[in-house]
Chain A
Amino acid sequence: MLKKLRFILYVAITITGLLGFVFPYKHPHFWWQKIPVFDAIFGFIGCIIIIIFSKWLGHHWLMKDEHYYD
């Protein structure tokens, strides 16, 4: 089941990646909007940054025991 899903994900990523070349932004405002796979790269790296940064911030500073305020 998971293998199947992973395969579908790979296919979908490839298709949208290719479609990025076929359908570029109509009115790009910034240089990165002209890169056909920019959103894919940004999504991947951005997501990893959010996860790592949040968890780091939590574990090193903000996350406390559930009864912290009691």
Chain B
Amino acid sequence: MIDIIPPAFIYLIGAFILPIIKNRRAQQAFVLLLPVIAFVNLIHMPYGNYWVYNFLGFDLVLGKVDKLSMLFAYVFVIMSFIGMVYAIHIKEYGQHVAACLYVGSTLGVVFAGDLLTLFIFWEIMAASSVFLIWYQRTKSAMSAGFRYILVHLAGGTFLLAGIVIHATTTGSIAFVLFDIHELSTKLILIGFLVNAAVPPLHAWLSDAYPEGTVTGSVFMTAFTTKSAVYVLARSFPGVELLVWLGAIMALYGVVYAVMENDIRRLLSYHIISQVGFMVCGVGLGSELAINGAGAHAFSHILYKAILFMGAGAVIHVTGRRKSTELHGHELYKKMPVTLTLYMVGAFSISAVPLFNGFISKNMVVAAAGELNRPVIELMLHLASIGTFLSISLKLPQGIWFGSQKGSDKIPAAKEPPLNMLLAMGIGSFLCILTGIYPKLLYDLLPYQVHFHPYEAGKVVAMMQLLLLTLSAFWIYIDKLGGEAAISLDTDWFYRNFGRALLRFCNEPLNQIRLKIQTLSSQKVAFLSRLSQNPYVPLEMFWHIVQGKTLPLKDSVNQAYSPHIYRLPIGVGICMSLVFFLIYGLVYLWLV
């Protein structure tokens, strides 16, 4: 155990070394080297529990290594390499630092054997990823980033509350299978569901991911939601609620994607949809279903990265991010390589045979069939149609095709930098490789696989589904063009609530504050004037007895005048004596 270190720390330490390196080439080499070191480290990591530290009587486990955690760790490390290649041309090393912290903390979550370690890495994950949004430096990115971090901190608070209750009631913080009927585990589940972007807690994803930097968003698509799928698979498999949430999620993303105009937001809605398959698989809980969820997470990370990289490349060279701005410029002539690589990702997500989506998504659908869940099976099937429709047909048509419109041209359109294409190429290669040779992926899965994706019946059925979806698309092609609009989602509630809260604070609440302040400062002024001259009350009393009214203000602030009657000096002395008398009595009584 001396020669390997916790994979999280490779990236976390790397993030601190990176700013010290001054030479840009060395910096580039360093960020590419980190995933390589992490990968070699992973290969040499045997199963078991490592790096156990005692803290306040609890065991902190930094390395809980088994098949499930290794599956996710492998794909996260591979993805970090692809993401780094895609981002290598970025001159701002701060983005690389944020990415390293983000990847490192995700690996920390994956290998966490206790809830406290999990929570700490969980929070670093949120805090580091928000910078990948803020580095975009636009006003909309700044506000989207703030909403993103607030939602995640809220989710983290649920998680922490659950952990504290769990630790105090059971006396253990081990990260194991949980019983959903406890309050503590329900809170933990809510924390996990926020990160898995399960509706109605999902709006942070479609809000923030399209606002991130071109390269940062590629990282973001991979880690947060899939690490949430991992923790769900570890602690809540077979929970019925997840089956329905997952299936609803799969369709929810599909419906929104059809309405969407912003190309990366459309892709974001399909993250929600695809994660729905995984959440559903976790909920189904059978060996096939958990295998399916894990395999689909693996495939999804690769193809979703390609799609985001493709969309990002278009935004990088054209500066435009909406279908309505891109459609009709025949970009396919100027960016054929990008289009081809994008289509590999698109066919993968659509589960076209020979691509990796086909070998993983169908495991979850088959699990629904095996467990005799007809409604769920049909819902997932319907979501597959929507996926092909939006990602493989609507989006390419919106971005790359459409005949030349007027004089509005995009002169800058050309292929993106070579490293971007290379990153997409690596992703595409892996998508096709695992698609053609599924054993590579199936060997990594937590349970033994008895699933045969390439049965003739399954392939034919899938081709039928896709071809007829294409036909329906063809019929409705004019209706499907992007529309310059946004669609309201559940972030409407907190955006409007936030705004209403601000308005409430600014106006009515501020008015009340001002009133209270005026009132209290009047009282204070009164008291301070009173205390300038202690026998003013007596004087007032005297005047009242005489039947005259004398405003307090006048008696204090009046300049000395020999013509005004004042109380004799004896009154003052008398008051002092009375005070001494009272003081003496109290003193005697106390002693």
* Interface positions of A (Cβ within 8 A of B): 6, 9, 12-13, 16-17, 19-20, 22-26, 29-30, 33, 37-44, 46-51, 53-55, 57-58, 61-66, 68-69
Contact = CB atoms under 8 A, between A and B. Distances in A.
Contacts of B255: 50, 53-54, 57
A interface SS class: helix
B46 interface: no
Nearest to A18: B460
B469 A43 contact: yes
Contact of A37 (B464, B474, B475): B464
B interface SS class: helix
B468 interface: yes
Contacts of A39: 461-462, 464-465, 468
A48 B479 CA distance: 11
B385 A13 contact: no
Given A16-B464, A29-B369, A44-B469, A50 B486 contact: no
A44 B468 contact: yes
B258 A17 contact: no
A66 B389 contact: no
Residue of A30, A38, A42 with highest tally of chain B CB at under 10 A: A42
Interface of B: 254-256, 258-259, 369-370, 372, 374, 377, 381-382, 385-386, 389, 455-476, 479-480, 483-489, 495
A70 B374 CA distance: 44
B377 A30 contact: yes
Contact of A16 (B386, B467, B483): B467
B264 to A, nearest CB: 15
22 contacts: A12-B467, A23-B459, A26-B457, A39-B465, A40-B465, A40-B467, A40-B468, A42-B385, A42-B465, A47-B385, A48-B476, A50-B255, A50-B385, A51-B389, A51-B472, A54-B256, A54-B259, A55-B258, A57-B255, A58-B487, A65-B486, A69-B495
A55 B389 CA distance: 14
B471 A55 contact: no
B389 A9 contact: no
Contact of B457 (A25, A40, A49): A25
Nearest to A17: B464
A9 B455 contact: no
Given A30-B369, A42-B381, A51-B389, A64 B488 contact: yes
B494 to A, nearest CB: 12
A51 B457 contact: no
Contacts of A24: 457
Nearest to B373: A29
B259 A43 contact: no
A20 to B, nearest CB: 5
A47 B467 CA distance: 11
B386 A13 contact: no
A10 to B, nearest CB: 9
Contacts of A22: 456
A6 to B, nearest CB: 8
Given A42-B381, A43-B468, A55-B479, A23 B460 contact: yes
Nearest to B461: A39
A57 B462 contact: no
Contacts of A48: 472, 475-476
A51 B476 contact: yes
A62 B469 contact: no
Given A55-B258, A64-B487, A44 B472 contact: yes
A62 B254 contact: no
Given A13-B468, A16-B460, A50-B389, 19 more contacts: A9-B470, A12-B463, A13-B464, A16-B463, A20-B460, A23-B456, A24-B457, A29-B372, A37-B464, A39-B461, A39-B465, A44-B469, A46-B385, A47-B469, A51-B476, A58-B258, A63-B486, A65-B486, A66-B485
Residue of A6, A9, A29 with highest tally of chain B CB at under 10 A: A29
